[in-house]
Amino acid sequence: MEQKQRPDHHRPGPRPVPGPNRPTVLTGLRDFVDSIANTSPARLAFTVFVFVILLFTGLLSLPASSASGEATPLHQAMFTAVSSVCVTGLTVVSTATHWSFFGQLVILIGIFVGGLGTLTLASLLALMVSKRLGVRGKLIAQEAMNNAGRLGEVGTLLRIVIVTSVVIEAALALALIPRFMLLGEPFWQSVWHGVFYSISSFNNAGFTPHSDGIVPYETDLWILIPLMLGVFLGSLGFPVVMVLQQNGLNWKKWNLHTKLTIQVSFILLLAGTVLWALMEWDNVRTIGTMPAGEKVVHSLFASVMTRSGGFNLVDQNQLEPTTMLLTDALMFAGGGSASTAGGIKVTTIAVMFLAIVAEARGDADVKVYGRTIPQGTMRVAISVIVAGATLVSVAAFLLLSISGASLDRVLFETISAFATVGLSTNLSAELPPSGVYVLTALMFAGRLGTVTLAAGLALRQRSQLFHYPEERPIIG
């Protein structure tokens, strides 16, 4: 009797499992993120970035995003979405006049999200969806922050990255809002402009909500200084900012990455200021007719913005050819690793310079500040430089054939897109859709490609059970 009653209730054991169908979507998403993060964190970064760009492209394509109430063409919406998420600042339509308030808000959110970085963004998504990163996810997050802290502290460090961004951007906004109010703007408009410029500057984006940019404020230090500070702090990178928070200005407690980043950044800042001033001092089309004090301010501002900020006080088409070449070099150099800046990064330049010095001296090891730089780090640096130069060369070749513009303008625009700088000779707005897509792909590759390549190479070092005999080819 008892055996006949039990089977009906307990034999179909799996029956209660399919009952709760509601969590299956979240469970599937969690399993998908876990599978990608645990097998290939770099692939997770790529996937997340593509998803974010497609999302913002769709939002900017909506009629509500444009001031005219009409849908924005796909190539323009995608270019703007990539430019904002990749914190570049290049535009094919006017940010102030083409986009509505909603469209500008979408751009601003894209700048903030993109400024966190692809690897950080991927790690945060894995942390939010699956409530854990896993070993591989923690490794890629740790690599994104240049191994700042132990593996178990990665979740805390990710939160510090967001808090640091918000605090710095809030401080910049509080400095800018009163100035806009004193200049006669209504309160809420001043708040909007202050917040917009603070996020745009710290994330090295270069977008402006004014149709004439910041040219009307070219002598207003109350606005120029916060913009320069925001861009410079953002270009240092989150690992450096966290070291400065923990150790202040105590040089002895800084790690090697912080020392190299700050030292090379200041060298490039000083060299860029001096060289830009020397080349443009007598150029009447730019700063030639200004007083000496304003010339110095313009030179310093240009040096800060050239390496990734993207704000400009003079027409880039009016620069001397030598100044354009200097700008190309500084844009290609970029800022610090794991920062909101682009380029090949200043630590890459430092490592290659130290390797050249060591080779010239005949040293077997590359040494600096009592530390030896591993051979693997130098291989990654070489890979980043070669990959960057290749991307710029291919894109410049395509744009030359598409646009028919001069080489100096094409090279300037190409490097600006790759290094996510945003300075422009207005070539982006003159290109047909095919050229716009080329620059779109280049901005995406410049923001994602070299960083992912560096992280992938660093995580793919494998031990070998054998070693071939060494033979040195002739170099040079």
What does the pLDDT profile of the chain (476 residues) look like in tens digits?
444 444 444 445 444 444 444 455 556 555 655 555 554 556 666 777 888 999 999 999 999 999 999 999 999 999 999 999 999 999 999 999 999 999 999 999 999 988 876 556 656 655 555 555 555 555 555 555 544 554 444 566 677 778 888 999 999 999 999 999 999 999 999 999 999 999 999 999 999 999 898 999 999 999 999 999 999 999 998 888 888 888 888 898 999 999 999 999 999 999 999 999 999 999 999 999 999 999 999 999 999 999 889 999 999 999 999 999 999 999 999 998 878 888 999 999 999 999 999 989 988 889 999 999 998 888 888 988 998 999 999 999 999 999 989 999 999 999 999 999 999 999 999 999 999 999 999 999 888 765 565 555 555 555 667 778 888 788 77
Phi then psi for residue 367, to 5 deg, are: -120, 145
Q: Which residues contact 78 (CB under 8 A, 6 or more apart)?
A: 53, 57, 437, 440
Q: Is residue 272 domain-resident? A: yes
CA atoms of 140 and 208, how far apart (whole Å): 33
Would residue 81 count as lying in a domain?
A: yes
Q: CA–CA separation, 167 vs 323, rounded Å?
A: 35
Q: What is d(CA 438, CA 275) in angstroms, rounded to the nearest whole number?
A: 31
Q: Residue 84 corresponds to which amino acid?
A: S
Cα–Cα separations (whole angstroms), residue 44 to 84, 304, 359, 438? 20, 33, 38, 24
Domain that holds residue 261: 33-458
Distance CA 327, CA 37 (A): 38
CB 32 within 8 A of CB 129: no
Q: What pTM was estimated for this model as a whole?
A: 0.86
229 part of a folded domain: yes
Q: Considering the domain boundaries, does residue 307 fall inside one? A: yes
Among residues 253, 256, 331, which one has the least CA distance to residue 245?
253
Domain count, the chain: 1
Residue carrying the six token digits 């806009």: 180
Q: Are 86 and 112 in contact (CB under 8 A)?
A: no
- CB atoms inside a 10 Å sphere around CB 132: 14
Q: Is residue 185, in this structure, part of any structural domain at all?
A: yes
CB-based contacts of 86: which residues, under 8 Å, 6+ apart? 114, 342, 420, 443, 444, 446, 447, 448
Sign of CA dihedral 25, 26, 30, 36: positive
314: in domain:
yes
Tokens 């966190």 belong to 116
411 within a domain of the structure (yes/no): yes
Q: Indicate the residue type of 462.
A: R
Domain assignment present for residue 276? The answer is yes
